[in-house]
Amino acid sequence: MECIRIFCPATIANISCGFDVLGLALDGVGDEMIIRKTETPGIRITKISGQQLPLETDQNVAGVAAKALLKDYRYSGGIEIEIEKKIKPGSGIGSSAASAAGAVGGLNLLLGEPFSKHQLIPFAMQGEKLASGVAHADNVAPALLGGFTLVRSYDPLDVIKLNTPGQLHASIIHPQIEVKTADSRKILKTQISLKDGIRQWGNVGGLVAGLYTEDYDLISRSLEDYIVEPIRSMLIPGYDKLKAAAKEAGALGVGISGSGPSVFALSKGSDRAREVAKAFQEAYTTIAVPFEIHVSKINPEGIKILEQW
C-alpha cells in the first residue's frame, strides 16, 4: 500500500457514569482521511475540508499524533495527510479524537501494522493533549478499538475493550453551539463527596456488568451521573427538556456526550433509537438553537478502510 482512505468514527465519551474512562464508537458518523507515503521526509497535512483547522503539523491533532508514532518507528520517507472533517470541533462527539486516532490508525495500516491497536492509543492521546490540555483516552480508545472501551488505569495505561450488546443503538442531538473541552473541564469540581463517589462507582460496575450480560434493564439503571452532569448540563440549553423527552420515548438512559454540547441516548433496537431521535427533535424545536441529529448503531471495529492503493 502506498495510499489509504479511512473512516474515522465519532465517539461518545464518559457514557454518563464513566467520566474520562468509558467510551464507545459510532457507526456512520465520522471523518474521512487519506494518508499516503511520499519520498520527502516528515509529515505534511496537505488539505483539510469541512472545517477551518491548522495545516501546520505541530498545531493539528492529527499531525501531533502521527509525529508521536513515527518517533517510535523507523521510517525514512514522508507522510501526507488529507482530512475531510465531518465532525465539528467542540461538538462533544470526539472531533479531535477522530483526527488523532485516524492519523495513527491509518498510518499504522499503511506501514504494515507494526503496532497493535492498543499500542496506538498513547500516540493518539498526544493529539488529545494538544486539543484539551489533557492526554485522555476515553475517545481515542473506542475510535481505535471499536465498541465500548474502559480505561482501567492511566498510569500505567490499561485499556479494556468491553462487550457490545447487539441491539444497542445511540441517538445524538448536537445543538449548534461550541463547548470547548478545555473550558468545560475548568468548571468541574476537583473534589467529590464520598456518597456521590460510591453511587458513581456502583453505576460504572453495573454498566460494565450489563454490557457483558446484555441486561438492558441493568444498563438503563446504571446510566446515571451524579458528578459531572449536574455541572456541565448548565452549558447546554434545554438539557433537562431533552432528557425528559428521550426517557419518555423509551430511551435506556440519557447523558452528555463528552464535554457537550451533544446529548446522547442509548436505546434497545434501531426503531426505538429513531423514536428517541424524533423526541429530541420535537423537544428542541421550541428552543432557538439550530441542531443536528444522528442515529447510529455501535461501531464494533473502529477505524475502517474505505480504499487502498
Comparing C-alpha atoms, which of 190, 185, 46 is closest to residue 129? 185
The pair phi, psi for residue 77, each rounded to 5°, is -85, -165
**Are the C-beta atoms of residues 69 and 108 closer than 8 Å to each other?**
yes
* Sign, Cα dihedral of 119, 123, 128, 134: positive
Residue 144 CA to residue 230 CA, distance in Å, equals 30
**Residue 128 annotated among the catalytic residues of the structure:** yes
Catalytic, 181? Answer: yes
Query: Catalytic residue among 11, 32, 128, 149, which?
Result: 128
Task: Select which of 11, 149, 164, 181 is catalytic.
Answer: 181
How far from each other are the two terminal CA atoms of the chain, in whole angstroms? 5
Residues 94 and 139 sit within 8 Å (Cβ to Cβ): yes
C-alpha cell at 128: 488529545
- In one-letter notation, the amino acid at residue 256 is I
Beta-sheet strand order (sheet of 291-297): 253-256, 263-268, 168-175, 291-297
C-alpha cell at 183: 473550558
List the catalytic residues. Answer: 128, 181
